[in-house]
Structure 1
Amino acid sequence: MTSQTATISDHKEDLDVIPRKQSFSFTAALGGQNIIFGIQLSFLMYAFTDILGLLPAAVGTLVLVARLWDGFNDPLMGILADRTNTRWGKFRPWLLFVPVPLAIVTTLCFYNPGFSYTGTLIYAYVIYILWGMLYTLTDIPIWALSTVMTRSSSARTKMVSIARSFSTMGILVPTILIPVLAEKFSPEDPSQGYFYSVAIFAVLSVPLITLAFFGVKERLVVKRPKIRLSDTVNVFRSNRPLQLVFLTMLCSSLTAAPVSAVIYFATYNLGDAKQMGIISLISMLGMIIGMAFTPMMIKRIQKKGVIIATSILRVALLSLYFYLGYDDLITVYVMTFVLATLNSPFLVLQPIMVGDSVDYAEWKTGIRSEGVAFSCMTFANKVITALGAFAVGLILSMTHYVAGTSQTQEAMDGIFLAMTVLPAISCVLMLIPIKFYSLTDEKLAEISKELEVRNEK
């Protein structure tokens, strides 16, 4: 293994506290990036089936193939980020130059080119794979920034918790407003309305994301030789905490099914597409509350305990939701709120635990590879959304969903299954790998102190 040394660009005592301006800039940038992610998460399946006219099973396969490509592509982009060395830093330059093309490609996902079915399917493959590559070029750097802003795990936890809470609005605001704006722009042709609505939010995301370039400073500078692919493979092999976080995230894949299914659920099961906005608003409130309480939960039962406790509670509530049904709107609203509250701690913990694994890998191997570690997280997040969308597409196909018409009871039952049973299955699966996670806060404190001693030497 090649060795590395770290230098600190600020005074040592300042590393324990992240300056407010930098924390604000990180939060705003994450919010801008979540606008893009939220558009893809909430509307891509609908755009490809109801706007481009593709079959649900074909869309599910498309998303799955794109994610298989990411299995090769994301680690390479992580290595590219780790090898970046400019006067602006390692990660910030990507957040200056990539947001504009990302916004353009996001908008083109909602453009119907008017080709034949085969031509449209090819167009969808090209544009979505390109979107995934561009998104990765912002996702890896923005999360890797959190590890070079401070060495302190507790400071990182506090910042990421706050950033996740506020940036949730980046996902949910467009989720609420895009259907409303689409109807205003083009009542007779929703496809045009969605195109214009998405374009507005994509443009808004650009200045927000670039705040990570202008307002954040890379304070922990690691002087390293060029990282080889073999080094990154060895780092991952020896990084058991990262492996277990990665597996836990993969097991959570079906928890993303309701995000792809909610637009169908609101339109057909509840009979009013505008209900999606209400459900999204309730989800946003629940997630903000859950994220706000996450640091306190971590102090009491640590990160592993939070994931286990919330997963068990979610299984119980999802089972109850499936039993009660969706005839009563109050039940739908209450379940949406509570489930969103319980889901949000895991969203906060993902980047925190991956950041902890970066410190662990540096301590164990002598190599600090933020880009590769966070490429594992971004890849897992893409797999989560892909498998969630694939599962929804498969259920819609099996239950004979037909776009733009009244649905049969069989199709509506399938949609509700995606909202309840599928995420419950994932919550059970998550309990298996997380059980073996053993990187405690006490161990992290010891690692941090030892790394400081090494760097001083």
Structure 2
Amino acid sequence: MKKSNSLLKKLPGYIGYGVGAVGLDLSYGMFYSFLSYYLSSVLGLKPAFLLILTPIARIWDGINDPMMGTIVDNTRTKFGKYRPWILIGAFSNAVVLTLLFTSFGMSGTKLYIYIAAMYILWGMTNTMADIPYWSMIPSFTSEAKERSLVATIARTFSGLGQGIITILTPIILPLLSTGMTTEKGYSATGFSRWAMICGIALILFSATCVFNTKETNVVYNEKQKFSFKQIFKTVAHNDQLVVFMIFAMLSNAGWYLTSSTAVYYFTDVLGQPKGQSLFQTIGAVGSVVGLLVIPMLSEKFTMRSIYTISLSMTILGYALMFLFGPVLKIAIALDICYILASVGISSMFVSQTVFLADIVDYGEYKNGSRSESITFSMKGFLQKMAYTIQTVILFGGLGIFGYNEQIKEGVINNATKNAIGTIAFGIPPILIIISMIVFRSKFKIHGELAEKIHSYITEKRAADGDEK
């Protein structure tokens, strides 16, 4: 009873924390779901440009993300360890998001240089907010079920942010667009205005999070200077972090492919750009169901079992989507099958967040050092690596089949349409199957080891409290 009352007291703070994810995912959704289409179909940039830019940006992220993690780990202010950076990062990212989707009438070499700079700056400013935000979860509680609740709340609001972007963007863009538009009514002006609105919302939601969340049970490590040696040591000595990065990167890349290719599929293959809104709305229903079942499943199943079930549902959903999409071309059946995949995907993301919190504890148990922010910086980095995989597959495919040339001619041939359908619904389940194999065979934080880690952390916190 006492435990239930304690949880009820914490719930408003957890909800306040979750609200911040809405804003972060407005920016995240614009970048990962619509930037590719904006650059290729609205600005007319060549696919080879992103194929070169994306790996270069990931090299910088490999330096910047853990660097930011170290900065957060070393932060000690009256305002807390994490919240100052969430606010600073959100404001910076909002400005850069608007600039990224605003071309100022540039063309040629100037436009390519400008987009490259904004692209890299978006990653940097997103990191400033994303790492401290998700790094807060282990500080709330060490209880597995309560962590699952916090992660579920955050992921619920995260899904809301994604839903706003994927559902409303195809509807709102034509309303905001003026001047030269694509055949579907999208213009550079429309994207710029919509990005600005999302940027303002990002700041407001992040401020709500920051001023309604209290940092509790924060563990301050001894201040460390940033060094590649320390970053490498943190990652290399935490074998479960490496395993996590591999299986999460593969599964995330699968979902990113569908998310980013959907606009091409509904616009260029089906000729129904607003059909994407229905598709994403139905997917959002599945996502909500997936988020709701996590707390219920956690009462009877371990996170390992829940994650396996989530991936299995996702794979089955994709198999059916490929059948009713590219093969049979029955749009309504494709939409319905997306519910099944979305239930699995949303459950998958919640589980991944819980796993990362467990990996932080595992690092302390094994190596004596928590390094929350460095560990959680790997989440952002693996997401960007997943986006790199998505970009290489998507733009590699579009380049091979001559998509840009066909857009200029106004006719997309059947081979290109089939390629888009396969990229959206055929390749993702293959990546997710490989991900599940890695997870089942290599991830070992479950059962007896998980119990040992929890006992160790609980006893250590109690001892630290006695010393104080």
Q: Shared fold (TM-score greater than 0.5)?
A: yes
What is the identity percentage for the equivalent residue pairs of Structure 1 and Structure 2? 26
CA gap of 1:151–1:303, structure 2 versus 1, over 3 A, is: closer
Query: How far did residue 43 of structure 1 move?
Result: 0.7
Q: Is the 8 A contact 1:358 1:368 kept in 2?
A: yes
Check whether the contact 2:102–2:192 (CA below 8 A) recurs between aligned residues: yes
Q: Secondary structure at the match of 1:126?
A: helix
| 1:219-276 C-alpha deviation (Å, 9 max, x unpaired) | 1132421134344433322323222211111222233111110000110122111111
Paired residues of 1:61 and 1:390 also in contact (CA < 8 A)? no
Does structure 1 retain, via aligned residues, the 8 Å contact 2:324–2:331?
Answer: no
Q: Tell me the CA shift for residue 19 of structure 1.
A: 1.5
What's 1:121 paired with? 112
Distance 1:101-1:319 versus aligned 2 partners, 3 A rule: same
Q: 1:347 aligns with which of 346, 349, 363?
A: 349
In structure 1, list runs of 5 or more residues that go unmatched: 1-11
CA distance in 1, matches of 2:244, 2:298: 16
Deviation at 1:35, TM superposition (A): 1.0
Map of 2:432 onto structure 1: 427
Which range moves more in the overlay, 439-448 or 87-96?
Answer: 439-448
Q: Displacement of 1:58 after TM fit?
A: 1.9
1:9 is matched with none
Tell me the residue number matched to 1:48: 39
1:14 is displaced (CA, Å) by 9.2
Shift of 1:388: 1.2
State whether structure 2 residue 237 is matched by structure 1 residue 234: no
Kindly provide the amino acid, as one letter, of the partner of residue 137 in structure 2. Answer: S
The 1-side partners of 2:325 and 2:86 are apart by 44
2:384 is equivalent to residue 379 of structure 1: no
> Which deviates more from structure 2 when the two are superposed, residues 328-337 or residues 236-245?
236-245
Q: Distance in 2 between matches of 1:72 and 1:231?
A: 12
Shift of 1:188: 4.6
Residues 1:274 and 2:274 are matched in the alignment: yes
Where relative contact order (Cα < 8 A, 6+ residues apart) is larger, the structure is 1
User: Structure 2 counterpart of 1:207, which letter?
Assistant: L
Q: Residues 95 and 213 of structure 1 are in contact (CA less than 8 Å); yes or no, is this contact kept in structure 2? A: yes
2:304 alignment counterpart: 304
1:54-65 equivalences under 5 Å are 54-65=45-56
Question: Residues 59 and 18 of structure 1: is their aligned pair in 2 closer, same or farther, counting only changes over 3 Å?
Answer: farther
SS in 2 for 1:115: coil
1:437 corresponds in structure 2 to: 443
1:173 aligns with 2:164: yes
Q: What whole-Å deviation, never above 9, does each CA across 1:42-71 have from its counterpart, x for those lacking one? A: 111011112222112322332232122211
Deviations 1:290-342 (A, max 9, x none): 11112333443322222323323433442343233352122111121111111
Listed as ranges, the gaps of 5+ residues in structure 2 are: 181-186
Preserved CA contact (<8 Å) 1:257 1:388: yes
Matched, 1:210 2:207: yes
Alignment map for 1:310-389 (pairs within 5 Å)? 310-326=310-326, 327-389=329-391
Mean CA deviation greater in 412-421 or 312-321: 312-321
What residue number does 1:134 align with? 125
Question: What SS does structure 2 have at the residue aligned with 1:133?
Answer: helix
Q: Is the 8 A contact 2:309 2:344 kept in 1?
A: no
Is the 1:257–1:423 contact (alpha carbons within 8 Å) kept by the matching residues of 2?
yes
Aligned partners of 2:307, 2:218: CA distance in 1, in Å?
A: 32
Instruction: Report the alpha carbon displacement of residue 381 of structure 1 after superposing the two structures with TM.
Output: 1.0
Distance 1:65 1:407 in 2: 30
- Residue 40 to residue 103, structure 1, CA distance change in 2 (3 Å): same
* Cα displacement (A) at 1:444: 4.4
**CA–CA separation in structure 1 for the residues paired with 2:177 and 2:76:** 47
Q: 1:390 to 1:15 in 2, by over 3 A?
A: farther
Measured in 1, the distance between the counterparts of 2:393 and 2:86 equals 32
Indicate whether 1:199 and 2:196 are aligned: yes
Q: How many angstroms apart in 1 are the aligned matches of 2:58 and 2:304?
A: 27
Q: CA deviation at 1:198?
A: 1.7
The one-letter amino acid of 2:421's match is F
Which amino acid in structure 1 is aligned with residue 212 of structure 2?
G
- CA 1:222 to 1:314, structure 2 compared with 1: closer, same or farther past 3 Å? closer
In structure 2, the residue matched to 1:292 is 292
Q: Find the residue that maps to 1:221 and give its secondary structure.
A: coil
Aligned CA-pair RMSD: 2.2
| Native 8 Å contact 1:279 1:336 kept in 2 | yes
| Kept in 1: contact 2:16–2:213 (CA 8 A) | yes
2:414 aligned residue = 409
Please report how far the alpha carbon of residue 16 of structure 1 lies from its aligned counterpart in structure 2 after TM superposition: 6.4
Moved more, 218-227 or 202-211: 218-227
Partner of 1:396: 398
Pair 235,16 (structure 1): closer, same or farther in 2 beyond 3 Å: farther
Q: Is residue 451 from structure 1 mapped to residue 465 from structure 2 by the alignment?
A: no
2:228 is the alignment partner of 1:222: no
Q: Per the alignment, in what secondary structure is the counterpart of residue 98 of structure 1?
A: helix
- Displacement of 1:438 in angstroms is 1.7
Alpha-carbon shift at residue 432 of structure 1 (Å) = 2.9
2 CA distance for matches of 1:231 and 1:133?
21
After superposition, the Cα gap between the structure-2 partners of 1:279 and 1:408, relative to the gap in structure 1 and judged at 3 Å, is same
Specify the code of the residue in structure 2 equivalent to 1:163. Answer: A
Structure 1: how far apart are the matches of 2:443 and 2:8? 27
Distance 2:280 2:178 in 1: 22
In the other structure, the counterpart of 1:7 is: none
Contact 2:320 2:337 in 1 (8 A): no
Q: Which shifted more, 213-222 or 435-444? A: 435-444
